Structure 1
Amino acid sequence: MSYAFPPAPVATVPVVGSDRLFPVHRIYCVGRNYAEHAKEMGFSGREAPFFFMKPADAVLVVQEGDTGAMPYPTLTKDLHHEIELVVALGKGGKNIKAADAASHIFGYAVGLDMTRRDLQAEAKKQGRPWDIAKGFDYSAPITPIVPADQAGDIHQADIWLNVNGSKRQASNVDKLIWNIAETIEVLSQAWELQPGDLIFSGTPEGVAAVAQGDLLEGGVTGLPTLKVRLG
């Protein structure tokens, strides 16, 4: 038995300090997971966590010190940035308890959940899925992954994003509504998590539109800086 045509290569993310590659299985994203971002999107309180997904090959890997080139996507006139701490799983499982979640984490990276906000707004208005707004090509720029034991105190890390040198987003990971362990617990009740899964943990307040030519530069304390220019 053979393939009908050659299968696409596995999407991968480099591992800092190693020649290993992290094979991406799925990309889960947590919606409205910082209180101030929830408010700017018209919500408040600690609502139950909810999730959406991006295809594995949406990753756009940007090596530390490089500036990645992201093409401005089609069909939108309102592309927004969302800087996020990304959690990379090295061990899967179902019904993982929050107290055990750390043992499933391989490492951490910095990512951007790029969003076609106008298409998302229209989908919301019509009660339709968000896929076209969130899961497009190159919608998940990401740095190489730092192994968990080298990432420092990630739970108290600053998270930030500048656009063309001006501050847009600034917060701290300790302001997550649902922390990393809680997120893994809830996710693993809905899906059997696998090694290679990436979790975009949510974005702080300050999301806004970007244009062709803009330079996005963001980071999380202890992790590589992510730099992307929109083409």
Structure 2
Amino acid sequence: MTNGTAHGVSTLATLDQLINQVETGRLLFSPVEESSAISATEMAVACRLLEVGYPLPPIILRMQPTQDGAHLITGRRILDGLVRYFARTAAASAQMVGRPTGQPNDEEDVYRVLGDKGRYVSLSGQAPPEYLPVRAMWRTGDFLAYIRGLKMTVDEQTLVRLRSEAESVAQRLRTFRVTVTTFWCDADELTELAALAEQIPWGCDKKR
């Protein structure tokens, strides 16, 4: 049984904050096996859900008194995918999957198709000008570089419309909030708590 010393605190964190914590080493987790890693196609679907505000499952962290960083307990696959496809620095992806360039294995990127009702696609190679890379959403310089390229391919009226849409989409994804619960306890105690939680049919409402 647990010794009663564990305690958890739940907060809301934006995707921007979570990715920054990974990049700076304040949020730690072991790499996801390549066979289990989220694909570009799956991430495109996830981005669509995130844009409309569909909630992600809660993330659970464990703090260790002897270390500065928190260890990720749940949500490893989706956070690994966010780092792979959204990361603003190569160092973040290199930390996760050992790739110095920060590129996913399939070398595909995820794009938001501007002017197409929230459609996201995965694509390798050259993308059409109205395809906003999700990577460009996380750093101002990258976003402005994308807009400069767009400016050379569309008329002024179209540019204003697409830029406004791009700014709105980037803001939604960067500020999307996830419930994060941080526990202060040892690993064995948190494992026992997780086993107890699995005994409860959370959210399994009976049909009337």
TM-score bracket for this pair, using the shorter chain length = under 0.3
Structure in which a larger fraction of residues adopt strand: 1
Structure in which a larger fraction of residues adopt helix: 2
Larger radius of gyration: 2
TM-score (norm 2): 0.26
